[in-house]
Amino acid sequence: MDEITVSTADPIGTISPLLYGHFIEHLGRCIYGGLWVGDDEDVDTVGGGLREDTVALLREVSPPVLRWPGGCFADTYHWEDGVGPREQRPRRPNHFWNQGRESVPEESNAFGTEEYMRLCRLLDAEPFLTVNVGTGSREEALNWVEYCNADTDTVYGRERASNGRERPHGVTFWEFGNEPWGCGGRFDSAGYAAEYRTYAHFVDAYRATDFMDESSDLELVASGHSDPDWTGAFVDALDHHRLVDHVSIHRFIGGVECGSDADFDREEYYRLFSQVAELANDVDRTAATVENRGSMADVGIVLSEWGIWHPLAKHHNSLEQENTVRDALAAASVLNELNERADVVTMANLAQAVNVLQCLVQTDERTAWPTPTFRVFELYEAHRGNVALRTRVETDVREIPDGPDVPLVAASSSRGDGLTYVTVVNRSYGDERAVRIDAPSGSISRASVEVLFADQPPDVHSSPGTRGTFAPAGRPVDPESGVATVELPASSVVGVTLRP
C-alpha cells in the first residue's frame, strides 16, 4: 500500500488563490465565439455580449485572476483601438492568430478593455494586463494605466468615465511584454532589460501620484524565460531590482513523445507526467536564479502560461485539441507541484480558459460544456488561501528513459479552518491503488472523499455530450487510529478532507 505523510512542522507557506488563475487571448475561438458573441442571437448573453453559458461555467471555478490580452497578441495590441463606441473601433490584422467563428486573422476590437473588465467583474477575477512592449510605446502603457486606475481628474480617467465607467478599474498586475525572447520582439536579455527598466520606471512613478485610485496597488511583472540563463542575464542587466515584483515564465508540456491528444500508448501516457516534473524543475531553477540576486529575494515567480500543448494543436486549427482525462491528471499533478512551491510561486495562469489548448470550457454555436481539467480546478479550490503542508509520498515509480521518473501517486496537502485537505493523483495506467494517509496525531477522526474519473479511461475526452460525465463522486472513508485509508481508482484524482 502507498503511504502519504502530512506534516504540520515547517509549513511551506500560504497558497495564494492566484495559483489557480487563468488566461484568455485573442486567439482562435477563445474570446470571439467562446466568450464574446456581441449581439449574436443564437446564445444568451450577459454583460452586453458575453456568452451567458460560458460565463456561468467559469463562475463555478471562481477564477481568481484572468490574464489578457495575450500571449503573442499582446505585443501588437494597441489598447486605444478597443475602447469607445464599438462601431467606430478599427479593424486590424491579427498578426499571430486566426480567430472567431470564421477563422480570420482579423481583430475587430469588439472585445476591449471595458468588455474585459466587465468579464472580470462577472467572474470576480483580478485583472492582469500584458502591456505591449514589442510594438507599443511607454506613453501608450502609461495611458493604459491612467485609463484603468486614475480618477476622473485625468484625461484618460475622464475617457473611461465617458465609456460608462466612472470608478477606476483598479488593475494591480501589469506584465511588460510577452515572451520578449520570441514572439514579443526577439529581444536578447540585455535588450529586454533596457526596455523593461524604462517601462517599469515610468509606470512605477504612478505609485506616488494623487491621481491614482487609493485602492489601486501596482505590481510589476517582468517577462522571463524558462531557461534560467536568459532570465539570469536579464536580471543582471536590469540592475534596478526594485522595479520588479514578479518574474514570469511560460511552460507548456506535451510533444510527440507523449503521443497525440486522445491517442497515446502506455509509454507516451507516462511521459506527460515526466514532463510535469520538468515543469516543476523550471520553476525551481527560475526561483533559484532570482533568489541568488540578493536584492530580488522577495520577488515572486509567476507561471503566466502553463498547460498541455499537444502536437496537433497548430496555427491552422487555432490551437484546439481534445481535452482528456490524462490532461486533467497532468493538471492536478501541476497544481500539486505549485502548492508545494507556495512560498515562491505567486501566480499561475492555465492556457487558455476557453476552447484553446488545455481549456476549462469548450463551446459550439449553441452550447458550452466543461472539460475534465475544469473538474480538477473545482476540486482543488479548497486549497486556496490555506497553508501548504509538507507531504511525503511513498509509492512505486515508473522509470522513464531520458526523463524524470514518474511516482505513480502524487499528492499535496494544506490546512485551513481546522481542516486538512489532501489532493491525490493516481497516475497508474489501468491499476487501482490504495493509500494510507497519515496526518499529525489528533488531526483525523472523520474524513470525506471526492473522486474524479473513477470510471473513465485516460483517453476519454470532453464533448457536448459529456456535460455531467466528469463530475466528482463521493466515497465513504472511516479513519482508524488517526489514519485514513483511501482507494484510488486507476487514472483518478481524489480530494480528501480530514476532520479532527
Measured from the CB atom, the residue of 104 and 142 that comes closer to ligand AHR is 104
Element (H, E) at 7: strand 2-7
Q: Nearest approach, Cβ of 177 to ligand AHR (angstroms)?
A: 10
Measured from the CB atom, the residue of 183 and 220 that comes closer to ligand AHR is 183
What residue ranges bind ligand AHR (CB under 6 A)? 25, 70-72, 178-179, 250, 305, 351-352, 357
Tally of CA atoms within 13 A in the half-sphere of 439 that contains its CB:
28
Measured from the CB atom, the residue of 26 and 197 that comes closer to ligand AHR is 26
Q: Nearest approach, Cβ of 357 to ligand AHR (angstroms)?
A: 6
Q: What is the Cα 492 distance to its own chain's centre?
A: 21
Strand partners, 29: none
Q: Nearest approach, Cβ of 49 to ligand AHR (angstroms)?
A: 23
C-alpha cell, 336 = 500539486
Measured from the CB atom, the residue of 196 and 429 that comes closer to ligand AHR is 196
C-alpha cell, 391 = 507531504
- Measured between alpha carbons, how far apart are the two ends of the chain, in Å? 24
DSSP 264-325: --HHHHHHHHHHHHHHHHHHHHHHHHHHTSGGGTTPEEEEEEEEE--TT--GGGTT----BH
Q: Nearest approach, Cβ of 5 to ligand AHR (angstroms)?
A: 37
Q: Nearest approach, Cβ of 25 to ligand AHR (angstroms)?
A: 5
Q: Nearest approach, Cβ of 179 to ligand AHR (angstroms)?
A: 5
Measured from the CB atom, the residue of 2 and 25 that comes closer to ligand AHR is 25
Element (H, E) at 173: strand 173-176
C-alpha cell, 196 = 523593461
Strand partners, 67: 23, 128
Measured from the CB atom, the residue of 212 and 351 that comes closer to ligand AHR is 351
C-alpha cell, 177 = 511584454
Measured from the CB atom, the residue of 25 and 126 that comes closer to ligand AHR is 25
Q: Nearest approach, Cβ of 254 to ligand AHR (angstroms)?
A: 12
- What whole-number distance in Å separates Cα of residue 467 and Cα of residue 372? 10
